[in-house]
Amino acid sequence: MALRKTLTLAGSDTSGGAGIQADLKTFQEHGTYGMTALTTIVAMDPENHWHHQVFPIDVETVKIQLKTALSVGIDAMKTGMLPTVEIIEVAGQAIKQSGITNVVIDPVMVCKGEDEVLLPENTVAMREHLLPVATVVTPNLFEAGQLAEMGALRSVEEMKEAAKRIHDLGAKHVVIKGGSELKTEKAVDLYFDGDTFELLEAEKVDSTYNHGAGCTFAAAITANLANGKSVKEAVHAAKAFVTAAIEHGWKLNEYVGPVMHGAYNKK
Ligand SMILES: Nc1ncnc2c1ncn2[C@@H]1O[C@H](COP(=O)(O)OP(=O)(O)O)[C@@H](O)[C@H]1O
Ligand SMILES: Cc1ncc(COP(=O)(O)O)c(C=O)c1O
């Protein structure tokens, strides 16, 4: 079988656990050929409690990277941190024009442990330009509440309502990650295909070493789609992959603990 090509349009996480670094490691673990289009650079200030600083890439530079990557014919792609409205618009247009069918939108709005949320106008732009081109969208509880205009989500019932609203905005499949935020015994995610709901459950890991979990989950879905799995199969396999990664999360320094991207294949 020819090597399947995967693309991430996302930010660089200098600390290596999230962003394009998580995506490439995850793509590799799934035996796909990973490519990147960089949207922003995130650096951390070691002298100021590891405070995140975000340096967006010029929109023309994002455009030319997308043109380059999409010209080779991509089997599946994902988006991650998109720092400006202009970049979100360019992403939506490029995806639409390319005709690519396996598109995972991870609507990153905030980094774990950081209070600063990306600008509210970015959420508006995501609704308009990214949800309509999404094969799968993977918001966490906070992001789903923002996209659905429902504020904080606290229960599976509220997650169901949010999933319906997000589906109505154009995303074909919706996965809302309850993760460690939802007050349930297990780590519960809700999957909605526009027709039926399914709960994906895994043991909740008692750990704060979960940096990059969201990116890893979305990248695993992307690689599984590239490898020919159905959306439902791709999501289930990604859940097992990310659970193992969280179980083996580790301490990089006193501020951040990344997941172990390759843990699933070492089991
Ligand atoms: N403590 C945990 N134990 C097990 N699974 C978790 C835990 N926290 C998050 N997950 C799972 O990891 C995946 C990524 O979720 P999450 O970390 O909430 O995303 P994000 O990084 O976007 O906030 C989801 O499948 C979620 O259920
Ligand atoms: C570039 C980048 N993308 C995405 C994220 C979100 O990461 P997570 O998978 O932990 O939600 C971060 C968080 O630091 C980041 O730096």
| Residue 249: strand, helix, or coil | coil
What residue type is 228 in one-letter code? Answer: G
Question: What are 112-128's pLDDT values in tens digits?
Answer: 656 566 678 999 999 99
In a domain, 140, yes or no: yes
In a domain, 31, yes or no: yes
CATH number for position 74: 3.40.1190.20
Q: Is the dihedral of CA 10, 140, 135, 261 positive or negative?
A: positive
In a domain, 267, yes or no: no
pLDDT computed for residue 117 by the predictor? 64
In a domain, 77, yes or no: yes
In a domain, 116, yes or no: yes
**Count of H-run helices and E-run strands, the chain:** 8, 9
- Residue in 9, 39, 50, 81 to alter for ligand 2 test, most ligand atoms within 8 A of Cβ: 81
* Alpha carbons within 13 A on the beta-carbon side of 144: 31
- For residue 261, what are the contacts with CB-CB under 8 A and spacing of at least 6? 22, 25, 26, 29, 212, 216, 245
In a domain, 192, yes or no: yes
The residue nearest atom 26 of ligand 1, judged by CA position, is: 179
In a domain, 129, yes or no: yes
Ligand 1: centre distance to CA 63 (Å): 31
C-alpha 186/C-alpha 204 separation (Å) is 5
Q: Which helix (H) or strand (E) holds 137?
A: strand 136-137
What is the domain extent for residue 108?
5-262
The residue nearest atom 13 of ligand 2, judged by CA position, is: 111
Residues with CB under 6 A from ligand 1: 140, 177-180, 187, 189, 202, 204-205, 210, 213-214, 217, 239, 242-243, 246
pLDDT computed for residue 96 by the predictor? 97
Parts of the chain with a pLDDT under 70: 1, 111-118
C-alpha 219/C-alpha 209 separation (Å) is 18
C-alpha 172/C-alpha 169 separation (Å) is 9
Question: What are 235-249's pLDDT values in tens digits?
Answer: 999 999 999 999 999
* Token representation of residue 158: 């509220």
pLDDT computed for residue 114 by the predictor? 60
- Predicted TM-score (pTM) of the model is 0.98
Closest approach atom of ligand 2 to CA 213: 9
pLDDT computed for residue 74 by the predictor? 98
Q: How many domains does the chain have?
A: 1
**Is residue 108 within 6 Å of ligand 2 at its C-beta?**
yes
Ligand 2: centre distance to CA 264 (Å): 20
pLDDT computed for residue 123 by the predictor? 95
Is the ipTM value over 0.95, yes or no? yes
